[in-house]
Amino acid sequence: MCTAEQLGAHVSPLRLVIAGGGTGGHVNPALAIADAFQARYSDAEIFFIGTERGLETRLVPARGYRLELVEGSRLVGAGVVGKIRGLLALMRGVRQARKMLREHRSDLVIGVGGYASGAGLLAAKTLGIRTAIHESNAVPGMTNRVLGWLVDRVYLGFEAASDSFAASKVRVTGNPVREEIARLPARTEVRHGPRRLLIVGGSQGALFLNEQVPALLAAVARRGVSLEIRHQVGKLDPEPVTKAYSESNLSATVLPYIDDMASALSWADFAITRSGSGTVSELAAAALPALLVPFPYAAGDHQAANAQAFCTESGGFWSRQRDWNCEKLADSLTSVLTDNAALEKASAGAKAVAKSEAALAVVADCVDWVGEPQ
């Protein structure tokens, strides 16, 4: 495996800006890229551009990086008035970002999605600064499709997205995951005792999972499977979820947000999650088999595309919300959770699609393309 040390450590300052955020699916890969650059360039000057409503306001400073805020608002699907407001906010955001980039004397701006990504990249183009995007989904969003025409380089999490961009710009790197997850030790054997289930609806939470999973796991328990459960509800009300587990006599810890996701992934034997790009990439890195339930209103139905791409390669399984059948899914889960060989096979399938070097691949290509800082 290629390591930061093999890439070479440098002390020349690199001025990097990472623009975007909003959800953990945007912020966590961005942090992984920043960490990989920092490992190569010990004196790298890295800062983030985000918005005040995004998860970056908490996660980026906690990681020790500087965060600057710009205005940003929704453009796609916002209606005429919303689009006008969004364009005005984007224009203000571009002006704000231009000032930041000039003061920083940035060498490179990488957009990772979210409202701030467009402002940061457009500002960089007006200043002649090199630009790149990282598209993490199997189906690119409209914003990145447009930005793909403007930026110099396009890094992709899934091969399936490559047809949406000019081939000369594309590099399929996989999705960067946090180093503490990428470096999780291999699962050598199935653990004895109750099966440990991790339920994650993303950083915002998932009402459907909160409402349906307790009943599903109660059905699994009725089939004789002993369970321990950790359920992240996000910003949604935890009380109904806690009550549902309690009424079914299930051992469950219900949390708003899991800060130490590496430990949670390592703890679990199986997961039930949404299929955002960051989630499926972290499941693969952790060799954690899962039932994926795509968010049905994701732009371009990209979560379903992510789930299909991941499960086709890994041999896992997924269900659309409209196809959810508690008893059939309980049968499927029970067959996996009670069969050590099946669980080991599912774990190996997830690990087989992991691209744990994705962040290092982005760094290595940027060095080849942009050149060593002077």
Domain 4-181+356-370 and domain 184-352 have a common topology: yes
User: How large is the average pLDDT for residues 67-73?
Assistant: 88
User: How large is the average pLDDT for residues 162-183?
Assistant: 93
pLDDT for residue 9 is more than 60: no
| pLDDT for the residue numbered 78 | 62
Bridge partners of residue 18, in order along the sequence: 48, 110
Mean pLDDT of the chain: 90
| pLDDT for the residue numbered 221 | 98
Question: What is the spatial distance between Cα 200 and Cα 260, in angstroms, rounded to a whole number?
Answer: 13
Q: What does the angle CA 287 – CA 258 – CA 27 come to, to the nearest 5 degrees?
A: 80
SS3 52: coil
| pLDDT for the residue numbered 34 | 96
| pLDDT for the residue numbered 17 | 97
pLDDT for residue 183 is more than 70: yes
pLDDT for residue 33 is more than 70: yes
pLDDT for residue 373 is more than 70: no
Question: Strand 130-135's sheet: what is its strand order?
Answer: 66-69, 45-50, 15-19, 108-111, 130-135, 153-156, 170-172
Among 78-87, 171-180, 210-219, 300-309, the range scoring the smallest mean pLDDT is 78-87
Q: Supply the pTM of this predicted model.
A: 0.85
pLDDT for residue 85 is more than 90: no
Question: What is the spatial distance between Cα 191 and Cα 210, in angstroms, rounded to a whole number?
Answer: 26
Amino acid in the structure at residue 231: H
Residue 359: closest CA among 286, 285, 307: 285
- Helical pair 326-337 and 340-352, crossing angle rounded to 10 deg: 100
User: How large is the average pLDDT for residues 257-265?
Assistant: 92
How many CA within 13 A on the CB side of residue 180? 11
Residue 368: closest CA among 206, 132, 57: 132
- Helical pair 115-126 and 79-104, crossing angle rounded to 10 deg: 50
Question: What is the spatial distance between Cα 21 and Cα 31, in angstroms, rounded to a whole number?
Answer: 10
Q: What's domain 184-352's superfamily in CATH? A: Glycogen Phosphorylase B; (3.40.50.2000)
Secondary structure (DSSP) of 206-241: -HHHHHHHHHHHHHHHHTT--EEEEEE-TTS-SHHH
pLDDT for residue 248 is more than 90: yes
More confident of the two residues 364 and 85:
364
Among 140-144, 302-306, 333-337, the range scoring the smallest mean pLDDT is 140-144
> Contact, 195 vs 227, CB < 8 A?
yes
Report the chain's C-alpha Rg in angstroms: 21
Question: What is the spatial distance between Cα 350 and Cα 188, in angstroms, rounded to a whole number?
Answer: 14
Q: What percent helix, strand, coil does the chain show, rounded to 5?
A: 50, 15, 35
**Residue 207 token pair:** 């009402």
| pLDDT for the residue numbered 77 | 58
User: How large is the average pLDDT for residues 26-45?
Assistant: 91
Q: Which residues contact 237 (CB under 8 A, 6 or more apart)?
A: none
Residue 157: closest CA among 55, 303, 294: 303
Domain 4-181+356-370 classification at class level: alpha beta
pLDDT for residue 201 is more than 80: yes
How many CA within 13 A on the CB side of residue 287? 16
pLDDT tens for residues 99-115? 999 999 999 999 998 88
| pLDDT for the residue numbered 167 | 96
Domains in the chain: boundaries: 4-181+356-370, 184-352
User: How large is the average pLDDT for residues 311-339?
Assistant: 94
| pLDDT for the residue numbered 10 | 47
Strands (DSSP E) found in the chain = 15-19, 45-50, 66-69, 108-111, 130-135, 153-156, 170-172, 195-200, 227-232, 251-255, 270-273, 290-292, 317-318
